[in-house]
Amino acid sequence: MLELIFILVFAATLLVTGITMMTVFAATGIALVVMFLLGMVGAVLKLLPWLIVIALGVWFFKNYVAQPRYK
């Protein structure tokens, strides 16, 4: 799936800029940046349930388990 998105972004960039050697390099760079950003979003979405569990655990510990320290 990611390879298909990479090819589509690459082809779209070439169609917008025209096909020369410089634009092939530019299209490759733009496609890599787009794929990097999409990969980061995918990683965050994959880890989101664990982040929610950790946040709930910290909240539970702070509110119900830990004893407040009074000086």
pLDDT tens digits along 49-59: 999 999 999 99
Range(s) of the domain holding residue 42 = 2-65
pLDDT over threshold 90, residue 71:
no
Distance (Å, whole) CA 68 – CA 17: 62
Q: Is residue 59 part of a domain?
A: yes
Q: Is residue 70 part of a domain?
A: no
Q: Is residue 20 part of a domain?
A: yes
Q: Is residue 6 part of a domain?
A: yes
Q: Is residue 17 part of a domain?
A: yes
pLDDT over threshold 70, residue 11:
yes
Mean per-residue pLDDT over the chain, rounded: 85
Q: How many domains does the chain have?
A: 1
Q: Is residue 71 part of a domain?
A: no
Query: In sequence order, which residues have a C-beta less than 8 Å from that of residue 35 and are 6 or more positions away?
Result: 2, 5, 6, 9
Q: Is residue 33 part of a domain?
A: yes
Q: Is residue 31 part of a domain?
A: yes
The structure's pTM equals: 0.57
